[in-house]
Amino acid sequence: MAAKLEQSGFEDFLPLMADKLGGDGLIGELCNGFQLLMDSDKGVITFDSLKKNSALLGLQELSDEDLCSMMKEGDFDGDGALNQMEFCVLMFRLSPDLMGHSQFLLEEALLQDHAFQDSFF
């Protein structure tokens, strides 16, 4: 799916947003994005609400099949819709640069924790 987004000319702004907003700010913006895309009656993102609002994400060029694939990729509980957590996880998964940056941050945190523990023992 990430390759398909690249082919469509989709530009990944999540790493830039993460740098500018920090972790909490990025999560807040993803939650705002969820609110824009969700079906307000159901409280989740459905295929229909994603299709209706896909231009807000710059995804107007994606086909119904592509949007359906996104829904399936993010739908961990199998209910056919994306709740807020599933949406946030999907956005991270569709951002290879952000995932790579997250891996780097995790490794740094683990090294710092290891150094901190070594200083006490």
pLDDT digits (tens, 9 = 90+) for 80-117: 999 999 988 887 777 766 555 555 555 666 676 666 56
CA-to-CA distance for 81 and 103, rounded, in angstroms?
A: 28
At 4 the pLDDT is: 47
What residue has token string 């700010």?
A: 25
Nearest Cα to 88, choosing from 33, 9, 6, 15?
33
CA-to-CA distance for 21 and 23, rounded, in angstroms?
A: 7
pTM (2 d.p.): 0.64
63 contact partners, CB below 8 Å, separation of at least 6: none
What residue has token string 């999560």?
A: 27
49 contact partners, CB below 8 Å, separation of at least 6: 37, 38, 39
At 109 the pLDDT is: 60
Q: What's the CATH superfamily of 43-102? A: EF-hand (1.10.238.10)
Is pLDDT above 70 for 6? no
At 8 the pLDDT is: 43
At 84 the pLDDT is: 92
Q: What are the pLDDT digits (tens) for 10-65?
A: 455 556 666 676 667 767 777 888 999 999 999 999 999 999 988 877 778 888 99
CA-to-CA distance for 94 and 91, rounded, in angstroms?
A: 5
What residue has token string 């056919």?
A: 80
Ramachandran assignment for 88, one of left (phi > 0), alpha (psi -120 to 50 degrees), beta (any other):
alpha
Phi and psi, residue 39, nearest 5°? -80, 115
